């Protein structure tokens, strides 16, 4: 540790501590292939933690299974590498029971929209407070080039040698229709924009979802060149007059052809699952005026005599 | 009152009351008649007096309109099983009469609603019949406003009259049950009850004399097995749960959803079984031991996540209210066929703890034990109950909540360093540290389903995998060393030992008692801790010539059921044999006796 003064301070003074250094928050060297877009997301996550001065012990990183889901091993903080597709459910349990933490969940397109598709829809509609960043590379990378739920039509994979023909999922449209309250899109090629989106997501009180295009150089190289000015593409931001509370407008923008738009498509305020459950608790506990649990249970047992 | 019919059965019921120490009453009607609530009232009455009670409910899988029965065994001594045959049958409809008359004991009394039932000649000579126009008398009593609705309370009044039960106490209970609703509902209930009590024709109050019990007992509480599980979890400090609706588990999730907020907790209804186990594990990771649960099909879906909790060493309690399987199976019937999935469900070597509750009271304490084990050993703990105890109502001694209830403060005190999978601590369980815990050396844990090193980072090293596998397995061995000594009911040694688990305990012990009183020496052993097993079983088995494992599951290809299979694998003892039942009904005492005798005769013949 570089900062001994920090170490001597008790947890509750976390707010006054110096932000963690990049060195302190860095763990294993990522197992990703050279040039993988996920590196960019990882370094922006470090930046965000430092910028927001999140106390080291409160950084909570959850992931499922996939290349991108290796994420927690590369962050020197409390981390969870859960099972395939269910990271959001795990993170929901953590978030609802630990309102003091801001939970970050990371995953890929297979985790989010295929095996975990149901959880994506329900976490969005329940508006569980957390940030979910999906590193979308349009292909299964860890298992070496099978069609993913976001693979574009015609993509030649090992499971569609002749080119994918199942309609791909549009993550923005899926999130908006499922009831997500913060829906944004960015790309690993624009780190400044990525940090901006993560910052805004963390400010959002609710389920904040970011799709980050993240190129798989091994199995789908060049997939996102159209969105990268350095490769002759265009990184097209949202129209200046876009009202992010306008669901229909957001949906229309999400329907534009690839590479589409980048920025916050949709953002509204709706009570979070966390707040609603806390409200139920407050109402229920109010009646017992701070009585110890054993007396509350005794009152129930007295009715069962 | 008119419209009553009496037929004297041949076997000679007369106006002399029979003195009895216990009675089994079966009420047969339709699911919407509220006959279960009669059982609830009687159970509560027993809980407040010197009598013991055990009730059994059979609910139809149809939502409304199906046949439904409720059986109450009321005794002045200890009642340990719901009873086989009924001494008194209340038949509300023709189908209730036709389907249940066979369940009456010889000389039993059949009370039927003469508005709906036409007695059959054949049975009239065999059982004493008492026809009472229950439907029209109820309408008469409550003014005809709520047809069919007060019938159950009227019948409760009849039972109170028949057995000279304490009507003052019953009225107090009715007051408690309906007092919070509208005044007219309470009045209707009270009118129906009192009319039932007043019914005097056919000399019904002189049929039986139920003996009084011994000394007044300490305070009792009355609840179902599902309720006992729910409150046990709360007492043990569980403050988070997640689940998905499925019969017969749903009662527990409904209870926790309603009750947990009073204690600052939440229960979340999820989109599916996988989400619910995952949410519970997420909350456990957050520092509160959490619960999920289900019945058969849902447990199948949860297995991958449970395997993760074994691997990542995160505490978790999984309740499995077993029903008939496989697949959708028999949703509202009882079976003990989920033992294998509890023990082995999932891929890889994934040792977990499996406990089975034996009755309603035991549900309460087993839930508590499960939470404590999960906490101490950082491991998933299964609690197996079944449909028979889940819906059964029993009275049991009130627990001392002051000493039982757990303080559940979240512990986030900083630690100098922390290895989530420390191998240097011998075989002791790892202590989970929740996020928010400051690790002062700056090295933070990852919890993971990948095989990992001591800090939770991926490792494919062979020696590491051997060491970690041993670590996960050995904590169960340590737990086994801490289990209480097993208790043999009956003689300590002899020819035959009957072994059971879960809800077969009551009938099993009663069978031993009954056989014993006939001079056949038999002993019984009930196993609550199924994984790990207690260490003393082999010495107990060695003292008997034969060991029969009584289970409500299939004897399978090789002739022994799921627990018997475990015991045979563990002890390589061919004397362990199975006596199995797949009728999707609980074991009757008489059935156990019959099957054991059959087996003994068979074996004597082939010896």
Q: How far, in whole angstroms, is CA B338 from its chain's centroid?
A: 14
Inter-chain touch A93–B437, beta carbons under 8 Å: no
pTM of the model: 0.91
Rg (CA), chain A: 21
- What is the CATH topology of the domain spanning B222-404? Rossmann fold (3.40.50)
* Disruptive mutation site among B278, B360, B401 for chain A (greatest number of A CBs within 10 Å): B278
Please state, in angstroms and rounded to a whole number, the distance separating the CA atoms of residues A252 and A254.
Answer: 5
Q: Which residue has the higher pLDDT, B13 or B559?
A: B559
Please give the average per-residue pLDDT across B88-115, as a whole number. 90
Say if residue A226 is in the same domain as residue A151: yes
- Residue A3: inside a domain, yes or no? no
Please give the average per-residue pLDDT across B80-85, as a whole number. 74
Cis ω for the linkage preceding B32 (within 30 of 0) = no
- What is the CATH topology of the domain spanning B488-606? Rossmann fold (3.40.50)
Cβ contacts from A onto B, under 8 A: 203
Q: Do domains B5-217 and B222-404 have the same CATH topology?
A: no
- Give the one of B234, B280, B446 whose C-beta lies nearest to A93's C-beta: B280
Q: Which residue has the higher pLDDT, B586 or B524?
A: B524
Burial classification of residue A270, based on how many CB atoms lie within 10 Å of its CB (0-12 exposed, 13-18 middle, 19 or more buried):
middle
10 Å Cβ neighbour count for B486?
17
Contact list in B for residue A96 (CB cut-off 8 A) is 240, 266, 268, 279, 283
End-to-end CA distance of chain A: 59
Say if residue A226 is in the same domain as residue A289: no
Residue pair A63/A105 in contact (Cβ under 8 Å)? The answer is: yes
Chain B contact for A296 (CB, 8 A cutoff): yes
In this prediction, residue B537 has a pLDDT band, given cuts at 50, 70 and 90, of very high
Contacts of A209 (CB under 8 A, 6+ apart): A124, A131, A132, A133, A134, A171, A175, A180, A182, A183, A184, A201
| Angstrom distances, CA of residue B205 to CA of B15, B45, B162 | 10, 18, 4
| Residue B572, Ramachandran bin (φ over 0: left; ψ between -120 and 50: alpha; else beta) | left
Burial classification of residue B481, based on how many CB atoms lie within 10 Å of its CB (0-12 exposed, 13-18 middle, 19 or more buried):
exposed
10 Å Cβ neighbour count for A3?
15
Torsion angles phi and psi, residue B340, rounded to 5: -60, -45
Inter-chain touch A300–B259, beta carbons under 8 Å: yes
Q: Hey, where are the domains in chain B?
A: 5-217, 222-404, 488-606
- Residue A103: inside a domain, yes or no? yes
Structure confidence at residue B71 (pLDDT): 82
* Disruptive mutation site among A31, A72, A88, A90 for chain B (greatest number of B CBs within 10 Å): A90
CA atoms lying within 13 Å on the CB side of residue B462: 0
**Residue A297: domain span:** 273-305
The sign of the torsion formed by the CA atoms of B435, B439, B444, B450 equals negative
Nearest chain A Cα distance for residue B326, angstroms: 25
Say if residue A120 is in the same domain as residue A255: yes
Angle of helix A87-97 relative to helix A117-126, nearest 10 degrees, comes to 30
Of B423, B444, B422, which is closest to residue B435 (Cα–Cα)? B444
Percent of chain B surpassing pLDDT 90? 60
Please state, in angstroms and rounded to a whole number, the distance separating the CA atoms of residues B31 and B552.
Answer: 25
Q: Which of residues 90-119 of A touch B (CB under 8 A)?
A: 90-98, 100-101, 118-119
Nearest chain A Cα distance for residue B268, angstroms: 9
pLDDT digits (tens, 9 = 90+) for B298-325: 999 999 999 999 999 999 999 999 999 9
Inter-chain touch A57–B438, beta carbons under 8 Å: yes
Question: If DSSP codes are grouped into helix, strand and coil, which group holds residue B74?
Answer: strand
* Token code pair at residue B170: 């019953």
- Give the one of A11, A78, A93 whose C-beta lies nearest to B290's C-beta: A93
Say if residue A224 is in the same domain as residue A290: no
- What is the CATH topology of the domain spanning B5-217? Pyruvate-ferredoxin Oxidoreductase; domain 3 (3.40.920)
pLDDT digits (tens, 9 = 90+) for A247-268: 999 999 999 999 999 999 999 9
- Residue A11: inside a domain, yes or no? no
Nearest chain A Cα distance for residue B202, angstroms: 33
Say if residue A113 is in the same domain as residue A200: yes
Chain B contact for A281 (CB, 8 A cutoff): yes
Please state, in angstroms and rounded to a whole number, the distance separating the CA atoms of residues B351 and B425.
Answer: 19
Question: If DSSP codes are grouped into helix, strand and coil, which group holds residue A284?
Answer: helix
Say if residue A158 is in the same domain as residue A300: no
Inter-chain touch A56–B442, beta carbons under 8 Å: yes
Cis ω for the linkage preceding A259 (within 30 of 0) = yes
- Residue A152: inside a domain, yes or no? yes
Q: Which of residues 55-74 of A touch B (CB under 8 A)?
A: 55-60, 62, 72-73
- What's the CATH number where A111 sits? 3.40.50.970
Please state, in angstroms and rounded to a whole number, the distance separating the CA atoms of residues B283 and B300.
Answer: 21
Say if residue A133 is in the same domain as residue A67: yes
- Residue A12: inside a domain, yes or no? no
* Token code pair at residue A46: 């470090």
Q: Which residue has the higher pLDDT, B42 or B528?
A: B528
pLDDT digits (tens, 9 = 90+) for B385-423: 998 899 888 888 899 999 999 877 899 999 999 999 999
pLDDT digits (tens, 9 = 90+) for A83-140: 999 999 999 999 999 999 999 999 999 999 999 999 999 999 999 999 999 999 999 9
For residue A173, pLDDT beyond 80: yes
Structure confidence at residue B33 (pLDDT): 80
Domain count for chain A:
2
| Angstrom distances, CA of residue A133 to CA of A92, B196, B419 | 14, 67, 28
Assembly ipTM = 0.95
Say if residue A262 is in the same domain as residue A251: yes
For residue B5, pLDDT beyond 60: no
């Amino acid at each position: 540790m570089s900062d001994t003064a920090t170490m001597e301070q008790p947890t509750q003074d976390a707010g006054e501590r110096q932000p963690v250094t990049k060195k302190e928050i860095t763990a294993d060297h990522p197992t990703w292939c050279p040039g993988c877009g996920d590196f960019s997301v990882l370094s922006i996550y470090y930046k965000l933690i430092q910028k927001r001065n999140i106390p080291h012990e409160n950084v909570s990183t959850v992931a499922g299974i996939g290349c991108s889901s290796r994420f927690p091993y590369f962050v020197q903080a409390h981390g969870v590498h859960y099972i395939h597709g269910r990271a959001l459910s795990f993170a929901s349990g953590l978030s609802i029971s630990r309102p003091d933490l801001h939970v970050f969940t990371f995953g890929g397109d297979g985790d989010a929209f295929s095996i975990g598709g149901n959880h994506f829809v329900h976490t969005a509609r329940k508006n569980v407070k957390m940030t979910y960043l999906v590193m979308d590379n349009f292909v299964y990378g860890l298992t070496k080039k099978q069609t993913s739920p976001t693979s574009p039509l015609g993509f030649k994979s090992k499971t569609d040698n002749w080119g994918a023909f199942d309609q791909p999922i549009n993550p923005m449209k899926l999130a908006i229709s499922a009831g997500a309250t913060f829906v944004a899109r960015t790309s690993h090629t624009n780190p400044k924009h990525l940090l901006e989106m993560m910052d805004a997501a963390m400010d959002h009180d609710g389920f904040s979802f970011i799709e980050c295009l993240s190129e798989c150089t091994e199995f789908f190289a060049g997939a996102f060149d159209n969105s990268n000015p350095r490769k002759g593409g265009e990184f097209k931001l949202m129209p200046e007059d876009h009202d992010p509370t306008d669901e229909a407008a957001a949906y229309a923008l999400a329907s534009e052809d690839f590479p589409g738009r980048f920025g916050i498509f949709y953002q509204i305020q709706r009570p979070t699952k966390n707040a609603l459950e806390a409200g139920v608790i407050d109402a229920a506990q109010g009646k017992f005026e701070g009585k110890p649990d054993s007396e509350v249970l005794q009152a129930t047992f007295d009715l069962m005599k | 009152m008119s419209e009553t019919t009496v037929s004297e059965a041949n076997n000679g019921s007369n106006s002399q009351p029979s003195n009895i120490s216990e009675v089994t009453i079966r009420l047969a009607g339709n699911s919407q008649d509220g006959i279960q609530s009669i059982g609830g009232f009687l159970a509560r009455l027993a809980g407040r007096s010197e009598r013991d009670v055990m009730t059994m409910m059979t609910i139809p899988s149809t939502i409304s309109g199906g046949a439904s029965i409720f059986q109450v065994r009321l005794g002045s001594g200890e009642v340990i099983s719901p009873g086989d045959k009924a001494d008194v049958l209340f038949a509300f409809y023709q189908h209730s009469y036709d389907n249940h008359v066979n369940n009456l004991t010889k000389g039993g009394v059949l009370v039927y609603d003469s508005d709906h039932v036409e007695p059959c000649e054949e049975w009239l000579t065999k059982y004493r019949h008492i026809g009472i126009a229950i439907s029209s008398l109820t309408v008469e009593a409550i003014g005809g406003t709520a047809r069919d609705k007060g019938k159950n309370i009227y019948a409760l009044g009849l039972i109170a009259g028949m057995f000279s039960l304490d009507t003052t106490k019953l009225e107090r209970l009715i007051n408690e049950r309906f007092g919070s609703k509208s005044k007219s509902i309470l009045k209707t209930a009270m009118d129906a009850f009192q009319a039932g009590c007043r019914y005097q024709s056919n000399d019904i109050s002189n049929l039986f004399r139920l003996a009084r019990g011994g000394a007044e007992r300490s305070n009792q509480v009355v609840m179902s097995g599902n309720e006992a599980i729910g409150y046990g979890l709360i007492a043990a400090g569980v403050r988070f749960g997640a689940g998905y609706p499925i019969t017969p588990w749903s009662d527990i999730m409904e209870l926790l959803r309603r009750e947990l907020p009073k204690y600052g907790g939440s229960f979340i209804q999820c989109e599916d079984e996988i989400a619910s186990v995952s949410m519970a594990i997420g909350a456990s990771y957050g520092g509160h031991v959490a619960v999920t649960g289900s019945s058969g099909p849902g447990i199948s879906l949860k297995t991958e996540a449970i395997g993760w909790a074994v691997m990542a060493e995160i505490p978790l309690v999984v309740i499995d209210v077993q029903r008939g399987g496989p697949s959708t199976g028999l949703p509202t019937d009882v079976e003990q066929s989920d033992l294998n999935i509890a023990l082995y469900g999932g891929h890889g070597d994934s040792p977990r703890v499996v406990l089975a509750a034996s009755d309603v009271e035991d549900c309460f304490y087993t839930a508590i034990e499960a939470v404590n084990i999960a906490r101490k050993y950082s491991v998933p703990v299964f609690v197996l109950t079944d449909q028979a105890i889940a819906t059964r109502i029993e009275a049991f001694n009130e627990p001392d909540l002051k000493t039982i209830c757990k303080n559940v403060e979240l512990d986030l005190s900083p630690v100098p360093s922390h290895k989530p999978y420390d191998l240097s601590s011998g075989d002791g369980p790892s202590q989970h540290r929740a996020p928010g815990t400051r690790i002062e050396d700056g090295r933070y844990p990852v919890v993971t389903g990948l095989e990992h090193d001591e800090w939770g980072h991926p490792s494919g090293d062979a020696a590491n995998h051997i060491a970690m596998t041993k670590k996960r397995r050995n904590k169960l061995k340590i737990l086994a060393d801490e289990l209480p000594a097993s208790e043999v009911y009956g003689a300590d040694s002899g020819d035959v030992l009957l072994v059971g688990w879960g809800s077969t305990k009551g009938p099993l012990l009663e069978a031993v008692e009954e056989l014993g009183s006939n001079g056949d020496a038999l002993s019984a052993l009930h196993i609550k801790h199924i994984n790990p097993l207690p260490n003393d079983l082999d010495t107990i088995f060695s003292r008997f010539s034969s060991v029969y494992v009584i289970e409500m599951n299939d004897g399978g290809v090789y002739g022994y059921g799921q627990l018997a299979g475990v015991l045979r694998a563990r002890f390589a003892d061919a004397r362990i044999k199975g006596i199995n039942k797949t009728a999707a009904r609980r074991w009757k005492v008489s059935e156990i006796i019959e099957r054991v005798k059959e087996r003994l005769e068979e074996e004597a013949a082939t010896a």
